[in-house]
Structure 1
Amino acid sequence: MELLHFYFLALFGIICCLEGPDIRTVRVRQDEDVVLPCSSGKTHPEFFVWMKDFRQEVFVYIGGRHYNNDFPGHDPQLKGRVFHFEDEVQSGNASIVIRNTKVEDSGSYTCMFRDHHPLRQTVNLVVEPVSKDRTAETIPGLALRPHVAILDQAKSWALLHCEVQDAFPKPKLEWVDSDNNRVPAEEIVTQIGGTYNIILRARVTRTDHFRCVATQEEINHTTYTKIFIYITESSTGLIVAVAALSVLLLLLMVLYYRLKYSKGKYFQQLITMEEWTPQWSQEKTFSLPPEETPQQLTRRPANLQR
């Protein structure tokens, strides 16, 4: 492979000196596929090669032979992940596809031809890391899925326990609910022999699914364990009930004072009506004369006596 490397550098060294590269930048998220574009500008190039940082052979095509059939010497890091567009080579397409990209794939990729018109094209590949569960990978210090448990529970609350052991670098541990909202928690950290043991305890007061999430940003690793908590007497429901009762009491007070005010106003109107004397009651009235006594009757003339 070193001999082939030397041959490529010697073969294309004059190209590096005669013509500047056409450089473009391609970004991709880790684990996704990416196309590195390259065109010979003519039909059916007989010979082209892709190199990374002018040190690592990525793909070699010589008259139909390439790394994916019977051409030896492919770098183990890229073996089985680099492909070309075989049906489009005759039209000058020398692009390649890198499948399942890794962060280590980032670098400068150069496509070079050996034809009558020497040409090279360079692509700067940036593979952006993605945090994911890497427990299946053999990475030293990788945090395994957290151990979770219920330490204590009452009708209106539960105390959750989460623990991660022998992890490095130090993982970030947190409790989150089903809406991915962070739950306040108490952290206990111990360090033994360069690795970290972390305990995280949280008190929850409602029924929900909760997750304990462990994250190691330095190695783009995230893993979690889920647990379901059932609270028989939710404090949230109690708060709602108290609020509803308060509103009801307020409405009753308003109704009471309103009735009291209306009643007072009614009696005030009655008093006002009693003090008011109608005009017709103030006019003169006629009454019968009082009964005459026997003495008064004897004094009357005979013709006037009854």
Structure 2
Amino acid sequence: MELLSLLFMSSCFLTLSRLTFGDQSGTSVFVKEGDDAILPCSLGTNENIEYVRFEWMKEGTKEEVFTCDSGVCYSPALPDRVSHFRDDLQHGNASIKIKNAQLEDEGIYTCSFPTSGKTFRIELVVGAAEPYVTSHDQINGGVLLQCDVKNANPKPTVEWRDSNNQIIHSEEPQVSKQGGRFYITLKATVEKNGRYRCVATQEKIHHQAQKEIHVHIYGRAMTPNPDSLAGLKLKTNKLPTACLMWKKAEDRQDL
């Protein structure tokens, strides 16, 4: 009886172990919006899978992202944007490429081999950190600049820089997170005319975006000084006197 129990437990273990997750499981792929995303999937055995069925699905959706079966491959969900590496199928590579990745493509994808029971899970993260800059009314001789970065993932570093690419003093950033996305507002007050840039950097995906704004503070280095105008008028009034003295000198010579 004990022998039968052990055999039954071994059989169950072998059956369950067929539903394994490969080396790619837990992998996160980071791309910026508009770039191509390659989702890796491989049996890791260099087995020829040209005529092996494998399926790509996105969690939360019912339609298949990509399927290959007996050498025929197609993409029901994204027919014009998903492709595979046909020449690498003979080496066990079932990876796919999603062209022009968009925010709505983000999510968890599974690559499954029904015949072997293996399933791989890959997370696709589409990062978008596009800064928007605005300027507020002039206050106390300076201009308040505001930079907003919305719907970004992974979390970016946001800075204000001057025309010499030097980081300028800013207020503490206002950071919030909604649905896995970051929303950041960074303000800085500048007191000099010139060009200023808001720079958002996502080192994890090697992405940087920036927006520039030109600041002109009215009344600074542009408005003429009233004293200078008065001095100019005074010099103009002296010109006839100089002419009059010259004429007197001529009269003395004639005498």
Structure with the bigger percentage of helix: 1
Structure with the bigger percentage of strand: 2
Give the number of the structure whose alpha-carbon radius of gyration is greater: 1
Higher normalized contact order (CA 8 Å, seq sep 6+, divided by chain length): 2
